[in-house]
Structure 1
Amino acid sequence: MMGTEGFTLHGKVILMGEHSVVFGAPALAVPLPRGTDFFVTPLGKSNRIQLDPDPVSHHGAIEKILATEISHEGFSLSCPRGLPAGAGLGMSALLSVALVRAAARFSRVEKSEGELHEIARKLETHFHGNPSGIDDTTVWYGVPVLLQKPRIAMAVPFPHTLLEPSLALIRPPALPLLVGDSMERIATRVMVERLGKRLTGPGRATFVERMGASIERFCAAWGQEKYDAMGKEMNAAQEEYRALGLSTERIDAMVETARRVGAWGAKLSGSGGGGVVVATGSPKALSDLESAWSSMGCDIISSVD
């Protein structure tokens, strides 16, 4: 019998487009550079799954889905230090992918990467309800992802691989980022309802048009490594979100601090009402920002060189 094995997966952060994507504009996600470690141990031929920590309310469904999709011999899966729940960092996708990766290690039947990814998406659907696919795809492949439904219509200014009409793996230049957790939380449903009430009729169409154009400018600048221009688009997105009531005083303070220390751009990431802020800037600016955010009581999720 094999002993305990470890593997590392990366959560995700949305760079641009988290709110307009539901109306047909593009969205961009990148993997968090600081990985999350998982450890898997075989449980003989028990066909059981043990999880630590254990999402008790989901355990039965997890076992049923995996037993149906992957013929495995049983395993325990532990994650000593996961990502904060409800922060928009893809923790449910991370767990879904980890479960499939672990089950595949002890499976009696070989499956392709694509087939395994589809199983991970089924688990993510159980956890998330109606996932867009951007979270599980970013976690599964560990590379930046572009999403636009029903199909990608924008010009993609860097090398990419189209996985589905609406999903592409992209290979843009490296981008220095810092991700900080505001430590505030509010249900995604509440923010979606708030956005729906404020965006109606022509206002929704113009918002989607503005955000779509901004994301295209962001990508064009990224392809040319014009980081100042990228930061400008991030700042503009944050102002849109503030006007829509998606930001908070604490998020605003984190963004203002980022600008004060010289970051190129900063914005909330995810549903809003709390969660995380993502900033881009020079190594010096991001180092100063990490210290400043820490002094504010924020949790530093991940930084990028």
Structure 2
Amino acid sequence: MSEVYATAPAVLKLYGEHAVVYGRLAAAIAVKQYAKASVSENGSDEMQISLANLSQSVSISEEKIQDLFLKYKISESIDDNGKDGIGAYVEDCLRDGISRDLLPYIIIAGRLMHDHHAKLSGKRIEIDSEIPVSKGFASSAACSTAFTAALSKSAGVALQDVEFIDIARDGERIVHKNYNAGKIDVNTSFYGGCVLYSDSTGATKVELHNGLQLLAIDTGPKRPTHETVHNITVELERDRAGTMRKFDQIEECTKNGVEALRKGDLKTAGKLMYGDQELLKTLGVSSASLDTAISMAKEKGAYGAKLSGGGGGGIAIAISDNPNELIDAFNSIGFKTDLVNISNKGCISVKRNKLKSHSV
């Protein structure tokens, strides 16, 4: 008997979040905090999914998985941006008693069954994660990536990178109720290291200059990403041309910022972080706590700082040649702050033989 294990790293956005949804280039890095998934046999006629961190589990038949997946596919076709179609589908599932936390994994399983004829009955898959939730570390993307890797390997389904990423993104589409969700997060968790992404170019892994020290600053509770995405939508409706120009400016921050990081030019990279942050703030995706963190970073001489992820609270990032001083300053006002290490390895899955127990 064998078990399959998979891990996938957390993600922090360096530049370009929100603008990436509208076709602009964004950059992110994988960091050394991990989601883990393991698959074993449970000896039943159903598939069992267990969320260790949330103490939730479900046993579900292949027939029910397929039914939920086919309804999800219909919801995709209703509205390509997911605003009404996927959102309404998720709400219908909640009314039918399906857990919001378990639904993303059920849909990934359904995709593997529908597209690749995976046999999933009798499998037990557990997801466990050390990544902070709802902070800006892309915890749901890492969990979806690890889950997809473990389940596809256990079922004997070989996937090309692009297809694997799109299947894992189904989990993100459910989490964020948006068809466009998970583009850079899943790519970065899958490939590891620093990843550049846009719809036109796809994902490209980039080697950064050695010695980058990135601070992750927890500024407190974070609003749901769909709320900050709504703020962007409001700005587009109010001034579409002006908002698109801001996206173009954010993309320039991304291009020039990553090039500076490749050369080890932290001053330029940091200046562009501040610039990106100011643009994001005008789009309504910052928060009072994030603004406080960025202002303190600037006062303490950090090269740069900005929100990371959906915004509305959660994690800010900063780069500095004196990180310990910044850590002390942020911790003194209740913003838990740590140096984070880049994970150059992305998603990894392995199959191991499970030792049999013998009675004596």
Q: Alpha-carbon deviation of 1:110? A: 4.3
Q: Distance in 1 between matches of 2:158 and 2:241?
A: 51
Aligned AA (1:295) = S
CA 237–37 in structure 1, closer or farther in 2 if over 3 Å, else same: closer
**Alpha-carbon contact 1:24-1:208 (below 8 Å) kept:** no
The alignment status of 1:186 with 2:236, answered yes or no, reads: no
User: 1:88 maps to what in 2?
Assistant: 136
Contact 1:181 1:275 in 2 (8 A): yes
Q: CA deviation at 1:115?
A: 4.5
Distance 1:120 1:240, change over 3 A: closer
* 134-143 vs 241-250, which moves further: 241-250
Q: Which of residues 272, 290, 293 is equivalent to 2:327?
A: 290
Q: Which residue of 1 aligns with 2:2?
A: 2
1:167 to 203, 225, 231: 203
CA separation in 1, counterparts of 2:124 and 2:26?
Answer: 36
Per the alignment, residue 36 of structure 2 pairs with 38
CA distance in 1, matches of 2:279, 2:203: 25
Q: Is the 8 A contact 2:271 2:303 kept in 1?
A: yes
- Native 8 Å contact 2:10 2:131 kept in 1: no
CA drift at 1:263: 1.7
Q: Kindly indicate whether the alpha-carbon contact (under 8 Å) linking 1:191 and 1:271 is maintained by their aligned counterparts in 2.
A: yes
Where does 1:31-70 land on structure 2 (aligned, <5 Å)? 31-32=30-31, 34-38=32-36, 40-46=38-44, 48-52=47-51, 53=54, 54=56, 56-57=99-100, 58=103, 60-68=106-114, 69=116, 70=118
Residue equivalent to 1:226: 265
Correspondence 1:76 to 2:125 = yes
Letter in 2 for 1:292: A
| Deviation sequence 1:36-79 (CA, Å, 0-9, x none) | 25252512454513312338331644543344443345123141
Structure 2 letter corresponding to 1:168: T
Structure 1: give runs of 5+ residues left out of the alignment.
152-164
Q: Is the 8 A contact 2:327 2:338 kept in 1?
A: no
Which residue of 2 is the match for residue 123 of structure 1? Answer: 171
Matched, 1:147 2:197: yes
CA deviation profile, 1:191-226 (whole Å, cap 9, x unmatched): 223233335144224323322222222133223211
Q: Which has the larger radius of gyration?
A: 2
Aligned counterparts of 2:49 and 2:281: Cα–Cα separation in 1: 43
Q: CA deviation at 1:168?
A: 2.0
Amino acid at match of 2:220: M
Residue 94 of structure 2 corresponds to which residue in structure 1?
none
How far off its partner does 1:100 sit? Answer: 1.6
The runs of 5 or more residues in structure 2 that have no matched partner are 58-98, 343-360
Q: What do you get for the CA RMSD once the two structures are aligned?
A: 2.7
Q: Which structure is richer in relative contact order (CA contacts within 8 A, separation 6 or more)? A: 2
Aligned to 1:16: 15
Deviations 1:84-104 (A, max 9, x none): 12x332222111111122213
Distance of aligned partners of 1:193 and 1:42 in 2 relative to their CA distance in 1, 3 Å threshold:
closer
Please tell me the residue identity of whatever aligns with 1:145.
V
Identify if the C-alpha distance between structure 1 residues 227 and 140 changes in structure 2 by more than 3 Å, giving closer, same or farther: same
- What residue number does 1:157 align with? none
- Structure 2-normalised TM-score? 0.70
Give the match's secondary structure for 1:172.
coil
**TM-score (normalizing by structure 1):** 0.81
Question: Residue type of the partner of 1:226?
Answer: D
| SS of 2:155 mapped into structure 1 | coil
